[in-house]
Structure 1
């Protein structure tokens, strides 16, 4: 018969031995084989066991891409440009984009940035984006019709892993046409 004091283990000694472990991305444990032995309350009779675990395939790591259009528009009165492109992803993602543009002119360089453009991306189809901004680095210069350079970066947190991924920093020459 088991007594009241035999139902719990107030002090224990023993061992836990891992004989095989395989990891996936960011510490995800894919396979585990281990044995254990425990002595409870000074007992000489151990509790012994084995653990064999095979986990499902880990979730895919997030991959995102950024494509930049090669044309944009410019409002010649305000100097505001509108540029765009698409983002891609292999699993749902909330991508924070920062497009920027510069245009070298005879007397100055028009340079502008649009920060914190949020694009919701679903796998399977590129998600379009547009941004409109003026030259906000050098207020004496404004964008004009002609050639400029468009750059961008996108960042997103991977929902399954403790990591932020980015698109790299693509850059392309664009043609700004009068809107």
Structure 2
């Protein structure tokens, strides 16, 4: 069955954390749309410098969670910091949780989940620097390469991408999960 996945991102995402999952999803024969508040292209961050630009498939104002089977939230320091203050982005994310659709977030990506009020009582992982933020927001943080909790897949860093991609596909292949909103 062809799945349609949204990858919510804006300028400053960690290049490998969008590119690797996108390629892995497309290898399954699925569609992976980059959804962004910006039209045109968004620029990645590649470790210590600006990286490649990626074309935006759907502008956020025209996107609906109803059109997608699952959501990916790449990290990077700048990207989630911008998205977490964008009401439309938070509403888009909440709609996936409300519908019980799986979500995968890596590195700093879970910051948007904190701002959306979606981490309380969840077992999660992330880049270590935001672990205290997750704990303070009510999550149970664990230092593991990948953690799955009722359709939510989280990982720490680009080094965990192989495990993240594998678990993401497993969760996205399953039926819907219980709504948590």
Short-chain TM bin = under 0.3
Q: Which has the larger radius of gyration?
A: 1
